[in-house]
Structure 1
């Protein structure tokens, strides 16, 4: 009976999720902007010259290659290509959320935790919207999230598991190079698994890593032949450029409103030498560094507009969607505290706690040093997803314990959420004033 109920809830949430997906697919499938057109052009290059004829200094080859595979069947009808790629990205997203929820359920046997992860996972409009674009964010995030959670949850008995983890990790890097920082986290978790759980073979790991490294060959070939650069990532020094922008940009967005400048710059109030990187600010201007660094971290938690490409400065979704996101973060951080305090007692739970926390902290600390867009926060969301289940279950337990009246608990939770949502919303709107183009205070 319980299995039937679980399936019904799963299907119900999936149907709602599909409706959200088709809404954004209808909005985005006939038009492509900026980076999207770049990936289309690179896919055309691969179709004409092959993957080893790829010549590009700023982007890696794998995402354009995936588009070119679809174009074998759709030709130059890019709207059909985009529909198919969007569906594939959406399926990967749904599978990733389902995998995380299922693994947490297997280890806790708490249905409420499963429902919570599925609910927050399936109904995130930001991520669903991102599946309908020719952008690398959601695909790379799903692949690296699967690699991390397989490392946390699966037993490393077969070499297939090792190869799976490395192939997922390396594919994520070849789709979006910035995920490399999370691949380092995977390596750390593999070492921790070896010494804490003692079920990992270094020999199998090395063999699997060598086999999986084949995925880097086209990119290495591109860099060596075209730029004489023995580099498996991109040739251009993108992070150096990003760290310089990070000194003067608190956040960045892209606008597609007619007659509006596409670049949406959240500018620092400090006067900064354009040659400075964010690391130079540590020496020359500590207040400017602190403002920039923590604004970047805030920016990857506060996503603002649902649309990656902003179609309207004042849509209603800019008000209600962040509220759902703030609730997610609040419950997740509460769940993180609950998990670390009450659950991480056995070696398995300690490893699980480290597996959840290390990638989250490493990525958050790293992303603070680069100029950010809201979509750069997607990896943090996946890392926090298990904790939202622990948070909701603990709240349910508080109601059942009868330590305090249900009315008192409800009023307390509503008060905390109201204060938190109001404070963060005001801070978010205040940050948007730095663009000189958006003023929600004047709008209201």
Structure 2
């Protein structure tokens, strides 16, 4: 008599893998500068290649910023999509880096490549030339040099979009805490906004190089200052000599709600004048503010499909304002025009690159189809023989010297792409 015992054991689900981005980084550098104020945007670019390492649903890719840089928009989240707009992962920016959580869109695909461009800022309060060191694969490193300079601006402003369809504008007046007699501030709002009457005017105290605190209680209209409103903004006049930094907060209403999430740039202008009287002509300084829904972080990409090898088939072996002043200066009209012209040139270049990539991809597919049409000796699959990656060790990468043309670009671009082709999608803000 025989007793047959059959047992069934459930196969445990594969645990998600946390990939250290540095282990796959082939190159990294600062792409603008080299001169930065503490609150300026430092754009960093990474290239990663995963080779035969598969990317599964739930896997995360963690990439840390260099030790002396910090994320400019901590908490920002954005979708990573392929060329068809399908979401393949979600990314979250923090103070220390970015974490991308992948879904199942890249299952059975290898040879993924990642291009990441993110907005950062210098982390500390000192000045001078600094080395920004990026760790690379196989223990290598890449170093970019930046130069941190003091902010000499005495007037600045920034805007923050609110959830109720309004914009909060903050003006920092007399940032350098000079003695200012007959101080006046004239503010002019841009297109597609309406002025909401009511200002909050406070004295401000610097906590460190880029962070300030409003003193309470706020100053009193009619006692400390007078304000006159008009269709395009307001005029603010101080009754006594001002020796402190002044923080002015107010709101505008967006008149076309469809613009709020379109990436449209809402603009604002402030002019500060002081002096005059018996001492001669007045002094003046101007600041331009802007805000949009875009944070500068976005992404797109794809990967190679792993085909099952069949006898006689030649498989393809070819292998992406609270209390902190983050404005920190102004951008002149000339600088803005030069920057936007450069951005337009870059956009045209990216379009041409995308067209060329599409041609190469079409040719690749045609070649693969032709190979499948005739018998051939079987070769290793892409998974078994993915091709090599490039090792870069201790390389000091060049960066542009055109700070004016790239200032204000707060952005990040994420690309997962097939070998030989990368598609970059840029969101302006």
In which range does the TM-score fall when normalised by the shorter chain? Answer: under 0.3
TM-score by length of 2: 0.19
Comparing both chains, which one has the higher relative contact order based on Cα–Cα distances under 8 Å and sequence gaps of 6 or more?
2
Tell me which structure has the larger Cα radius of gyration: 2
TM-score by length of 1: 0.19
